[in-house]
Amino acid sequence: MNQPRRIAEVLNQPAGEVPPPRHVAIIMDGNGRWARARGLPRTVGHNYGAEAVRQAVKGAAQCGVDYLTLFGFSSENWKRPAAEIDDLMGLLKLYLNREIDELHQNGVRLKVIGDRERLGADVVRLIEAAEGRTAGNSRLVLTVALSYGARAEIVLAARRLLQAAERGEVSPGELDETAFESFLLTAGMPDPDLLIRTSGEKRISNFLLWQCAYAEFVFLDKHWPDFGIDDLQAAIAEYQGRSRRYGAAQ
C-alpha cells in the first residue's frame, strides 16, 4: 500500500471517529514461562498457545481488523533444543491439518512469511496447500511469520532489488520507500497500525522492523496462553485512544 496515502487517511479522520486498526501484529510470547509457572513441560504451553491463536483470529474478525500478523517462530528460535523445535513443528502441522477448514469457512486467508528453506518439506507442502485453498478469501488476512527475522527480510529485499536493477527493471534514481516495500515479504499489505506483545517484555525482537516504523505498541503482562478476545479488544481500545500524528503538529 502507498504509505503516504495511508497516513493522510488517518490524519484526515474526523474527530471522534477513530476506526479499528486495519492491521494488527502480535508477538506471541510467554508459552514456556506459562508452562514453567505451572510445573508443566514447555510443549504444554505451546499447545495452550494454539488456543490463544484461535481467540486472536476470532477476535480480529469480530473487531473489524483486515490483517492479523502473528510472530510464530523466529529465525533465532532455531537455537532452541531440537526436541522443542520438533514439538513446535509437529504442533504447526497439526494446526495446518485441523484448522484450515474452519479458517476457510470463515473467510480467512492464510499467508506464511519467512525462510521456508529451513522448514521440513512436509511442513512446506502443508503451508502451500493451505495458502492455495484460502487464497480467494477476504474477510481477514492471517499472516504467520515462521523462521522469520526482520533483518534477514530487509537483506533479502535489498538482494531482490539489486537483481531487478541488473535486469533493468528498477532505476536507482526512481527508488523510494514505496518501491522498496514491493520487495519485502509483506508486499501488498498495509503496515501494522498496532503491535501487541505479551509476557511483559518490551521489545520487538527483530519483528517487522521496517513495517512497524509508525505502529502503536501495546505491551501486556500476561503470557500468550492467557490471551483472549477481551485482551485484543482492550488493546484496540487503547490504540483508538491515542493520537497518531506521524510527525505532524497536533
* Annotated binding-site positions for substrate: 30-34, 42, 46, 74-76, 78, 80, 197, 203-205
| Spatial CB neighbours of 205, under 8 Å, sequence gap ≥ 6 | 27, 71, 74, 76
Say how far apart CA 68 and CA 106 lie, in whole Å: 14
Give the residue ranges of the annotated binding site: 29-34, 42, 46, 74-76, 78, 80, 197, 203-205, 216
Chain centroid to Cα 104, Å, comes to 19
Give the residue ranges of the annotated binding site for Mg(2+): 29, 216
Name the one residue in this structure whose C-alpha cell is 470463515. 106
Phi, psi angle pair for 39, to nearest 5°: 70, 30
Say how far apart CA 205 and CA 209 lie, in whole Å: 9
Name the one residue in this structure whose C-alpha cell is 513443528. 89
- Pick from 175, 234, 178, 236: nearest CA to 211: 178
Say how far apart CA 161 and CA 87 lie, in whole Å: 37
Q: Which residues are catalytic?
A: 29, 77
Name the one residue in this structure whose C-alpha cell is 507442502. 125
Q: Is 116 helix (H, G, I), strand (E, B) or coil?
A: helix
Bridge partners, residue 68, by sequence? 24, 142
Q: Is 191 in contact with 214 (CB distance < 8 Å)? A: yes
Name the one residue in this structure whose C-alpha cell is 531482490. 160
Name the one residue in this structure whose C-alpha cell is 498457545. 49
Q: Is 151 in contact with 206 (CB distance < 8 Å)? A: yes
